[in-house]
């Protein structure tokens, strides 16, 4: 084969660029929209959407999958999509996307972000009125030109103008679960108190405890829907009723432009409706396909046999039982392997619960940048039923956060001893959140750290290092035998700061080797490490702690969000150290390798 020698001497190696999962997912969604603008068949469109969901939800990085040609092993990704994703990841560009984009003006895609405006309407308005941006749509509405297009009227114009104003305010940003949950819970209580309500629950991404949510779903059962729908429509804080029918009501709250959807059904349909409106969509599609194989049609209105007869389902677990699989808790319903595991009977049965947690990790007081005294924190922890609380102030280098000098620390121990003697039922543990310096060294001498019961090491400054430097920094910190817990390991702040670049697989591997516990930080804007990394950590045998990162006593409740994140990462009680009693917790932390 002489032709073989015509190949260049240096192999044509493509170097993977920094195209991340989120970018790939966004590109696939853009293609989906562009195809819809073209009027392409819904099935092809959906293939792109499903692939986008699949990529966005991947626990691992894309680079290795592309390099090893394993993209096609992912469900919903065949040859055509694998080729496009590979091209995008290895070259940073995608020819197909550019071809599609060239057919439409650039502002057209953004128009589909407006509420109640989808690709069909955008295509019509572009064709009939040459509208290609939000500004042009706004003008067309004001000038009454939209109502002249078939299928549109005066009401459409008014709604679009409203939608444009809303879009400009909110910019489509998803809200933190921690901000939304209190509001959602208060509305749920109001719905529960409405006349005739039998059962009511939150649904959607709030019930799945997603880290951010776009809206709130409430599902209720009652013999009469009307009074229940009214209870939401007339609730305090409602800015506008967006729609109200016989079984459904949507409102927008003044606070944060948050949308709330309520469905009310007869109680016999409650379980299947709750399941339907909890999602995720991807999880449901899997279940419905499994149902079809068994001659069962699964919808929000129940489970029906092919002959139309209804199968009674009173609890969500009944749906899974009909499909011969284990019950899947809401937090796991993402089609990330839970369907396969549940069918095989291999879903973890002892997922972490809030009740399993005996002590709260990571709390600050007025000694550094917290708002409450040590005693107030202790009493608040006890009131929540916690047996211990680790006091972990900032160390000296964290000047901006009132970091403690070693002398301060020793005086604090005296106060902790006094409180532990005086307050029964809860114990304060002496700890520190010591800064991991630029070199990876810790901010206190080992001789000081050795005297503490709990040592969390965290990065607070110099976030701008590159991936190599940052990875080395964290690995070096974990090599110090005094470091027991790696605090908020990626440094992200949801919606406001990207995680610093770091090779998490190496960090988790080292944590497992050295016996360093990794923090699952429950502060709503952190949730660090995130669920995907929790799952990876659990697989690699890394020990975890769930923390509240409390800077005031109310923050102790952040533990619930850390537990939610751990559950979404399939963590079990046995994976989490602060499910142990105080003495055993402290002993376990010292078991370093």
Partner DNA sequence: GCCGTTTTCGGCCCGACTGTTTTCAGTCG
Q: For residues 65 and 562, which CB has a smaller minimum distance to DNA in the complex?
A: 65
Work out how close the CB of 182 gets to DNA at its nearest, in angstroms, rounded to a whole number.
Answer: 21
Work out how close the CB of 254 gets to DNA at its nearest, in angstroms, rounded to a whole number.
Answer: 18
Work out how close the CB of 335 gets to DNA at its nearest, in angstroms, rounded to a whole number.
Answer: 12
Work out how close the CB of 225 gets to DNA at its nearest, in angstroms, rounded to a whole number.
Answer: 8
Q: For residues 91 and 156, which CB has a smaller minimum distance to DNA in the complex?
A: 156
Work out how close the CB of 15 gets to DNA at its nearest, in angstroms, rounded to a whole number.
Answer: 25
The CA-CA-CA angle for residues 224, 229, 235, to 5°, reads 140
Q: Distance between CA 303 and CA 287 in Å, rounded?
A: 11
Length in residues, the chain: 593
Q: For residues 4 and 155, which CB has a smaller minimum distance to DNA in the complex?
A: 155
Q: Distance between CA 212 and CA 175 in Å, rounded?
A: 5
Asked if omega into 506 is within 30° of 0 (cis), the reply is no
Locate the DSSP E strands across 208-301. Answer: 212-213, 215-221, 238-244, 248-253, 259-265, 296-299
Work out how close the CB of 173 gets to DNA at its nearest, in angstroms, rounded to a whole number.
Answer: 14
Q: For residues 182 and 245, which CB has a smaller minimum distance to DNA in the complex?
A: 245
Asked if omega into 529 is within 30° of 0 (cis), the reply is yes
For residue 392, the surrounding DSSP H or E stretch is strand 388-394
CB atoms within 10 A of CB 424: 8
Burial track 427-444 (b if 16+ CB lie within 10 A, e otherwise): bbbbbbbbbbbeebebbb
Q: Distance between CA 39 and CA 262 in Å, rounded?
A: 32
Q: For residues 79 and 171, which CB has a smaller minimum distance to DNA in the complex?
A: 79
Q: For residues 223 and 425, which CB has a smaller minimum distance to DNA in the complex?
A: 223
Q: For residues 15 and 102, which CB has a smaller minimum distance to DNA in the complex?
A: 102
Is residue 52 within 8 A of residue 85, CB to CB? The reply is: no
Work out how close the CB of 531 gets to DNA at its nearest, in angstroms, rounded to a whole number.
Answer: 21
| Binding-site ranges for DNA (CB under 7 A) | 41, 43-44, 46-48, 51, 72, 75-82, 96, 112, 114-122, 124, 147, 150-157, 159, 204, 214-215, 217, 243-248, 259, 261, 277, 279, 281, 284-285, 288-289, 292, 297, 299-301
- Name residue 244's beta-bridge partners: 249
Distances (CA, A) of 506 to 326, 502, 510: 33, 9, 6
Q: For residues 290 and 381, which CB has a smaller minimum distance to DNA in the complex?
A: 290
Work out how close the CB of 303 gets to DNA at its nearest, in angstroms, rounded to a whole number.
Answer: 11
* Chain center to CA of 193: 30
Asked if omega into 265 is within 30° of 0 (cis), the reply is no
* Radius of gyration of the chain measured on its C-alpha atoms: 27
Q: For residues 147 and 190, which CB has a smaller minimum distance to DNA in the complex?
A: 147
Nearest CA to 270 out of 293, 297, 290, 247 is that of 247
Work out how close the CB of 126 gets to DNA at its nearest, in angstroms, rounded to a whole number.
Answer: 11
Please report where in the chains the tokens 């604090």 appear, as a residue. Answer: 412
Is residue 260 within 8 A of residue 253, CB to CB? The reply is: yes
- Name residue 561's beta-bridge partners: none
Q: Distance between CA 454 and CA 459 in Å, rounded?
A: 17
How far does the chain reach from its first CA to its final CA, in angstroms? 55
Work out how close the CB of 199 gets to DNA at its nearest, in angstroms, rounded to a whole number.
Answer: 18
Work out how close the CB of 85 gets to DNA at its nearest, in angstroms, rounded to a whole number.
Answer: 9
Q: For residues 107 and 118, which CB has a smaller minimum distance to DNA in the complex?
A: 118
């Amino acid at each position: 084969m002489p032709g073989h020698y015509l190949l260049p001497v240096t192999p044509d190696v493509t170097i993977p660029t920094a195209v991340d999962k989120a970018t790939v997912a966004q590109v696939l969604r853009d293609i989906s929209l562009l195809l819809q603008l073209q009027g392409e068949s819904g099935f092809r469109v959906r293939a792109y959407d499903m692939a986008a969901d699949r990529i966005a939800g991947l626990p691992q990085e894309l680079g290795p999958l592309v390099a090893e040609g394993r993209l096609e092993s992912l469900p919903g990704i065949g040859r055509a999509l694998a080729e496009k994703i590979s091209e995008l990841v290895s070259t940073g560009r995608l020819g197909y996307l550019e071809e599609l984009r060239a057919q439409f003006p650039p502002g057209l895609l953004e128009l589909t972000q407006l509420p109640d405006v989808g690709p069909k309407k955008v295509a019509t308005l572009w064709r009939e009125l040459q509208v290609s941006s939000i500004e042009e749509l706004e003008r067309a509405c004001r000038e009454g030109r939209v109502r002249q297009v078939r299928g549109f009227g005066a009401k459409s114009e008014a709604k679009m103008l409203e939608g444009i104003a809303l879009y400009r305010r909110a910019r489509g940003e998803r809200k933190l679960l921690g901000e939304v949950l209190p509001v959602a819970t208060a509305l749920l209580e109001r719905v529960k108190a409405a006349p005739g309500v039998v059962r009511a629950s939150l649904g959607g991404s709030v019930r799945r405890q997603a880290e951010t949510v776009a809206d709130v779903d409430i599902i209720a059962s009652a013999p009469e829907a009307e009074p229940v729908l009214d209870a939401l429509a007339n609730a305090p804080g409602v800015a506008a009723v967006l729609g109200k029918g016989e079984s459904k009501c949507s409102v927008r709250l003044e606070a944060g432009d948050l949308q709330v959807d309520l469905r009310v059904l007869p109680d016999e349909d409650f379980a299947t409706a709750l399941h339907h409106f909890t999602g995720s969509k991807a999880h449901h599609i899997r279940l419905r396909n499994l149902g079809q194989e068994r001659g069962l049609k699964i919808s929000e209105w129940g489970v029906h046999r092919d002959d139309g007869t209804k199968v009674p389902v009173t609890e969500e677990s009944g749906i899974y039982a009909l499909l011969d699989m284990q019950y899947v808790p809401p937090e796991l319903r993402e089609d990330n392997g839970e369907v396969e595991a549940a069918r095989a009977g291999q879903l973890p049965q002892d997922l972490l619960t809030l009740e399993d947690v005996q002590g709260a990790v990571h709390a600050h007081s007025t000694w550094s940048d917290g708002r409450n005294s040590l005693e107030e924190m202790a009493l608040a922890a006890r009131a929540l039923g916690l047996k211990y609380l680790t006091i972990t102030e900032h160390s000296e280098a964290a000047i901006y956060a009132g970091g403690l000098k070693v002398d301060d620390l020793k005086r604090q121990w005296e106060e902790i001893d006094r409180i532990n003697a005086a307050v029964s039922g809860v114990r304060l543990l002496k700890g520190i959140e010591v800064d991991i310096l630029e070199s990876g060294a810790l901010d206190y001498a080992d001789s000081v750290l050795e005297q503490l019961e709990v040592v969390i090491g965290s990065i607070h400054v110099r976030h701008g290092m590159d991936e190599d430097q940052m990875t080395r920094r964290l690995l070096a910190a974990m090599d110090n035998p005094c470091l027991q817990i790696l605090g908020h390991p990626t440094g992200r702040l949801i919606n406001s700061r990207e995680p610093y670049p770091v090779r998490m697989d190496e960090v988790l591997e080292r944590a497992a080797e050295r016996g360093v516990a990794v923090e699952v930080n429950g502060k709503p804007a952190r949730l660090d490490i995130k669920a995907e990394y929790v799952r990876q950590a659990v697989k690699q045998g890394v020990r975890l702690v769930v923390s509240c990162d409390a800077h005031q006593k109310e923050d102790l409740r952040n533990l619930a969000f850390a537990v939610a994140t751990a559950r979404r990462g399939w963590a079990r009680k046995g994976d989490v150290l602060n499910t142990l009693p105080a003495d055993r917790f402290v002993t376990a932390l010292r078991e370093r390798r």
